[in-house]
Structure 1
Amino acid sequence: MDQEITCGAMPITQINAPDTQSKCWAWIDENFEKIFLVSGLLLIILFITFQTTYRYLITHFSDTAGAAVWSEELSRYIFIWITYLALSVAIKKRSSIRIDIIFDKLPLRWQNASWVMVDTFFLILTLTICWTGWSQIERLLEFPQHTTALGIPYIIPYMVLPVGFGLMSLRLLQGLGRQVRICGLKDTLFALACVALVVSPVFVAEYIEPLPALFGYFVVLCLLGVPIAISLGLSTLATVICADTLPIQYLAQTAFTSIDSFPIMAIPFFIAAGVFMGAGGLSQRLLSLADEMLGGLYGGMALVTVATCMFFGAISGSGPATVAAIGALTVPAMVERGYDKYFAGALVAAAGAIGVMIPPSNPFVVYGISAQVSIGDLFLGGIVPGVLTGLVLMGYAYFFSKARNWHGEVRERSVKTLGKAFWNAKWALMVPVIVLGGIYGGLMTPTEAAAVAAFYGLIVGVFVYREIGFKKLFNCCVEATETSATIIVLMAMATLFGNIMTIEDVPGTIARAILSVTESKLVILLLINVLLLIVGIFMEALAAIVILTPILLPVVTGVGVSPLHFGIIMVVNLAIGFITPPVGVNLFVASGISKAKLSELSKSVIPMILLMIVVLLIITYIPEVPLFFISK
């Protein structure tokens, strides 16, 4: 007869059970949202790829023509769900777009207290949208509606408002609990008192003018380190309450409708494509190709770095992603070959900025949606500025290296070795062909091209190069959805903010004020470029685009600048912000890779910034340069 083994008076099974249960809960707590993010992202990639294939291949061989309209509708709603679920993951990691120049100067004690303030402000917004979102559900229960293609009850997609923002609130409360334990009671009470002080005018004052409330709260919250998206949402909420401009339910409604858009889905798809291809080993093969082409010249490895960033930029559409993927390979190699590590870090940071110019580009997608400009035309318009910037940086790297006698690697290079490098990189080189060829060949929309590129990158990484296993795929999907969620929620909150500005005619007022001072196109473009360069020092490019586009667009169109040309100017200008201290994100990534002090890296990048400004002025005042391919 089996006997139960005991430890003292308690059975071992009883000892292990709570431990197993706690591990189970810990796993669920860590991965609950991630399971939905991974499955949701893969599903919408497959659905949109199927939609594209169905339209141009399957219907070609059948008597039934048309499109799989259900796939777009279903994908949009899955996309909305995973966006807001991904934000709760970003909350846990404290991954957000924010201005932290003041935060970074604070002692550790006050940084911890600052997080209590930030999380509390964030919680106010999520609870508000959760509450107003539930009112949307009650309305849909009373007056049921169904989607057009699939006949899904609208209550299902709209449930993301109470569920998604409720889950965010839970994650914020968890974070607050941890932060309170770190800060202690005294500092926590001080932080909460600061929150109450900031919030009090909304409830104390009977009425506050909309614009002071809107911009005042936005500036204060940004300076306090609240994520820019949340600052936009909270300043809108404050204005709605104290100026009675719109019903408070408007926040939840717009949080849904502003991202219920097929074009905006290009953002997660392009990000996923870049993540899959970076993890799948494509960056190493691009590097080998560039090394074969340029590695033997003076400053060969520096030239290879710039060229590879240009290649990879045509895949990832992201500056920091380009720096991380290429810099991790090239900076150690440059230092090993005798290059100055500050030059190496600065160069990869500057070259990484090309990633947002050469298509596909997430900033171009965001601008295209904000300004209602063709994303395809913006992609074409980014080619010349991106290539021109790359050539300028390569020229600088060549002469800088030659002056210091930094030779290229001496080894045999021939047509045969070059052909082999091209062949090894063929899968990576096909990505721009798929994206641009699909768009300009009339086969795909930018969103469909992005989905196909993501699907292609997934297939290559998993089945061709076999460098993406299940765990890496899981992490790639989480990274892609988390990154895209911070961008998309920023756009949603900017829509709230922008609608208040439209009601108050802020863009028109600013345009009239500027045009009353001068109507010179040259002067206005110069002033706007200076403004954007300053903004780029302190604010992330995507945030600047969604906030400033509705303000500046009426100004430039008033002096005859096309929205397309201005979009190219804006993106190229803000790309420089990726490498301008003190908050240039590319510099931070390059600093980590090169193990170089940020202050020294900032000095080394100054000549490159000046050269990029020269390129900016060329594309600003000679529109035929950026619009070369479009005019053709």
Structure 2
Amino acid sequence: METAKVYRELPKEKKPSTFNLFIKNFEKPFLFIGLISMIIIINYQTFFRYSISAMLNMTGTPEFEQMFGFLINIEEFRNGIKNASGWGIWSEELARYIFIWISYLAVSLSIITRSGIRVDVIHNKLSKRYQDILWVVIDSCTLILVFLFSFMGFGYVEMQWIMPQTTPALQIGYYIPYLILPIGFGLMTLRTLQSLWRQSRSMHIRDICIGLITPAIIFAPVLLSDEWNASLLLFGYFILFLLMGVPIAFSLGLSGLMTVLGAGTLPVDYLAQIAFSSIDSFPIMAIPFFIAAGVFMGAGGLSSRLLALGDELVGALPGGMALTSIMTCIFFASISGSGPATVAAIGSITIPAMIARGYDKYFSATVVACAGAIGVIIPPSNPFVVYGVSAQVSIGKLFIAGIIPGLIMGVALMIITYIISKKNGWYGEVRKRSLATFMAAAWQAKWALMVPVIVLGGIYGGIMTPTEAAAVAALYGLLVGLFIHKELTFSNLWLSTQSAASISSIIILLMAMATIFGNIMTIEQIPEAIADLILSITSNKILILLMINVFLLWIGVFMEALAAIVILTPILLPLVLAVGVNPVHFGVMMVMNLAIGFITPPVGVNLFVASGIANISISGLAKSVWTYLLMMIAVLLLITYIPSISLLLL
């Protein structure tokens, strides 16, 4: 009775007003419409260009002239087809501008949800009070950066309005696409203020004042003098912001801003232009498309069908369910391009199933967490896209170079799993398996198995670029989920587009801010200086590659893979080129190093996902991965010192 009385006396939760709901979800309709529009536009471009090319090839054959030469003028007909090819010129430019708009609009949502990629090792060890103060500091620093970018963006748009220029294809004023700078960063400013207000409401006024004064102290040196050493400012402030827990993208932008203010490396107004031009790139658009393809296919029921196929292949062996998990992760890796996404999609099904069949729960989570790392090695792979753009290396070559190393990693994990399972008496499920049951499972999974054929076949068949292949895969996953499996409802589609846009926006902002960071490093010749320093110590290729491996494994402990790639590629690439390493091989080596970082705490995101699914402690899970970790490092060394493994299929 007392409980009931207390319950009746509790105030009723107020229903959010229409205005509050509008403010809370303002960006979401734009993200939905924008992402779907991008997918449709690039698919139109791909099929239109392929049709034009096919028609030109067909009309150029003697057989066509023999059949239709007496009816039409072949040369005039071919010229008409060539003229029609101009009908698709607008598509790429429009899709790029939509991509930039939705990327920056989605960042504002990541601010309010605090879902940015950050190093929170120190932050998590602080008491609740100091964590709250630090959040005020983080939000205040972020507020300064995004407000300045919004202000500089407004100035750039104003300049384009006064001295108008038009885009090459759409023939619209450049001020229209550039409006995303004041609008997008303006929304980030509002969302940061919203986050700051929400944080400060539960804090003591004294702590709020400490949090607001600290950024002023941090900024004071560059405001008082503009004669600082650029390298000292760039790396000093970057490390400081990282340790504070500022999202890595904003840490890069803030350290670049501090360097510009304190050393005059670049004009301040130039930073806003970099924020736009650095992501105005067709290859970078592959990232949201591959993410969308993985999200659509996971929501559309393809992962469960891949799991059934894997069970047919290895389910009868000792550790059958664990082996099936690894094999399914390999299958799903050829769809998602993301390690954590692979763990979430497969682990949510297989980890509970393994525990129910008597497997140790830490072992079950370990298997899926480690196998999920293959998701960024086997193509398509978002880290390969980011490395390819950063290093100016063919993304298609990187994709094909990752196939054999990814499969070797998968086989190595399966061997360990088999040995451990046999030792512990964890045997596969006993049931009838035959060619007929295998063919039935393969038939059910056929739509999922077609994805790598479409993506890799399209790229290496010369039909599509990696970005176009990614857009085709996204549309394919959308159509299969909606109309074939019918497990992707409109509600799921809405959530899937928000998820894909939000995840990709964090990566895109990271690349934009890393470009500012990289430009300053280039101007100061920092990569060359680091390369010269290491080469002065040793020019032995074996030792240099070993040092790079140790360094990258250490970086992977603290930093997310994509962030490490955009920051370190400009630094390390000149060094490996100087000792004769193929840049494609180095890309595979770098991605494999950082993939291992997915299972090394404290930033091992695969561990966090797997521990959440298994409902176990992250510390206990971290202790159980060591056997797998050592095997993965052994495979890494094999790939590092035998480059022909990566380059075999090129």
Normalising by the residue count of structure 1, what TM-score does the alignment of the two structures yield? 0.95
Deviations 1:427-485 (A, max 9, x none): 00000000000000000000000000000000001111111111111110010010000
The match for 1:166 is: 186
How far off its partner does 1:234 sit?
0.6
How far off its partner does 1:141 sit?
1.1
Contact 1:324 1:589 in 2 (8 A): yes
The match for 1:27 is: 21
Q: Say whether residues 1:105 and 2:99 are aligned partners.
A: no
The match for 2:244 is: 224
Mapping of residues 388-537 of structure 1, within 5 Å: 388-537=408-557
Distance in 2 (alpha carbons) for counterparts of 1:84 and 1:536: 27
Q: Say whether residues 1:570 and 2:564 are aligned partners.
A: no
The match for 2:360 is: 340
More displaced, 90-99 or 523-532?
90-99
Report the 3-state secondary structure (helix = DSSP H, G, I; strand = E; otherwise coil) of the residue aligned with 2:462: coil
How far off its partner does 1:205 sit?
2.9
How far off its partner does 1:61 sit?
4.9
The match for 2:394 is: 374
More displaced, 199-208 or 93-102?
199-208
More displaced, 101-110 or 472-481?
101-110
The match for 1:4 is: none
Q: How many residues align?
A: 611
Distance in 2 (alpha carbons) for counterparts of 1:248 and 1:597: 46
The match for 1:72 is: 92
The match for 1:119 is: 139
Contact 1:460 1:466 in 2 (8 A): yes
The match for 1:304 is: 324
How far off its partner does 1:585 sit?
0.6
Amino acid aligned to 2:19:
W
How far off its partner does 1:60 sit?
3.7
Contact 1:510 1:551 in 2 (8 A): yes
Distance in 2 (alpha carbons) for counterparts of 1:48 and 1:262: 10
Mapping of residues 229-378 of structure 1, within 5 Å: 229-378=249-398
Amino acid aligned to 1:174:
Q
The match for 2:109 is: 89
Distance in 1 (alpha carbons) for counterparts of 2:193 and 2:288: 28
Distance in 2 (alpha carbons) for counterparts of 1:364 and 1:224: 29
Contact 1:118 1:224 in 2 (8 A): yes
More displaced, 141-150 or 57-66?
57-66
Distance in 2 (alpha carbons) for counterparts of 1:523 and 1:441: 39
Contact 2:318 2:422 in 1 (8 A): yes
Q: Say whether residues 1:586 and 2:580 are aligned partners.
A: no
Amino acid aligned to 1:41:
L
How far off its partner does 1:416 sit?
0.6
The match for 1:140 is: 160
More displaced, 396-405 or 175-184?
175-184
Contact 1:84 1:485 in 2 (8 A): yes
Q: Say whether residues 1:54 and 2:48 are aligned partners.
A: yes
Amino acid aligned to 1:55:
R
Amino acid aligned to 1:54:
F
How far off its partner does 1:195 sit?
1.6
Report the 3-state secondary structure (helix = DSSP H, G, I; strand = E; otherwise coil) of the residue aligned with 1:183: coil
Report the 3-state secondary structure (helix = DSSP H, G, I; strand = E; otherwise coil) of the residue aligned with 1:182: coil
Distance in 1 (alpha carbons) for counterparts of 2:27 and 2:52: 35
Distance in 2 (alpha carbons) for counterparts of 1:109 and 1:292: 53
More displaced, 191-200 or 97-106?
191-200
How far off its partner does 1:219 sit?
0.5
Determine what percentage of the aligned residue pairs are the same residue: 59
How far off its partner does 1:503 sit?
0.5
Deviations 1:319-342 (A, max 9, x none): 000000100000000000000000
Amino acid aligned to 1:47:
I
Contact 1:537 1:583 in 2 (8 A): yes
Contact 1:335 1:344 in 2 (8 A): yes
How far off its partner does 1:101 sit?
0.5
The match for 1:9 is: none
Deviations 1:171-219 (A, max 9, x none): 1111111111022311111111222221111112342111111111100
The match for 1:128 is: 148
The match for 2:62 is: none
Amino acid aligned to 1:261:
S
Distance in 1 (alpha carbons) for counterparts of 2:242 and 2:144: 15
The match for 1:614 is: 634
The match for 1:12 is: none
Residue segments in structure 2 that go unaligned for 5+ positions in a row: 1-13, 57-76
Distance in 1 (alpha carbons) for counterparts of 2:224 and 2:168: 46
The match for 1:11 is: none
Deviations 1:294-342 (A, max 9, x none): 1111000010010000000100000000000100000000000000000
Q: Say whether residues 1:598 and 2:592 are aligned partners.
A: no
1:43 maps to which of 33, 37, 40: 37
How far off its partner does 1:58 sit?
5.6
How far off its partner does 1:168 sit?
0.6
The match for 1:190 is: 210
How far off its partner does 1:48 sit?
0.2
Distance in 1 (alpha carbons) for counterparts of 2:99 and 2:601: 35
How far off its partner does 1:614 sit?
0.5
Mapping of residues 194-209 of structure 1, within 5 Å: 194-209=214-229
More displaced, 24-33 or 225-234?
24-33
More displaced, 54-63 or 361-370?
54-63
Amino acid aligned to 2:483:
F
Contact 2:376 2:383 in 1 (8 A): yes
Over aligned residue pairs, what C-alpha RMSD do you find?
Answer: 1.1
1:542–1:319 distance in 2 versus 1, CA, 3 Å:
same
Amino acid aligned to 2:141:
F
Distance in 2 (alpha carbons) for counterparts of 1:369 and 1:138: 30
Report the 3-state secondary structure (helix = DSSP H, G, I; strand = E; otherwise coil) of the residue aligned with 1:322: helix
Distance in 1 (alpha carbons) for counterparts of 2:202 and 2:325: 43
Residue segments in structure 1 that go unaligned for 5+ positions in a row: 1-18
The match for 1:211 is: 231
Contact 1:112 1:182 in 2 (8 A): no
How far off its partner does 1:146 sit?
0.5
Amino acid aligned to 2:213:
A
1:338–1:548 distance in 2 versus 1, CA, 3 Å:
same
Distance in 2 (alpha carbons) for counterparts of 1:104 and 1:272: 31
The match for 2:10 is: none
Distance in 2 (alpha carbons) for counterparts of 1:168 and 1:599: 35
Amino acid aligned to 2:359:
Y
Distance in 1 (alpha carbons) for counterparts of 2:263 and 2:626: 45
More displaced, 464-473 or 49-58?
49-58
Amino acid aligned to 1:503:
I
How far off its partner does 1:84 sit?
0.3
Distance in 2 (alpha carbons) for counterparts of 1:28 and 1:521: 58
Report the 3-state secondary structure (helix = DSSP H, G, I; strand = E; otherwise coil) of the residue aligned with 1:32: coil
Amino acid aligned to 1:626:
S
Report the 3-state secondary structure (helix = DSSP H, G, I; strand = E; otherwise coil) of the residue aligned with 2:27: helix
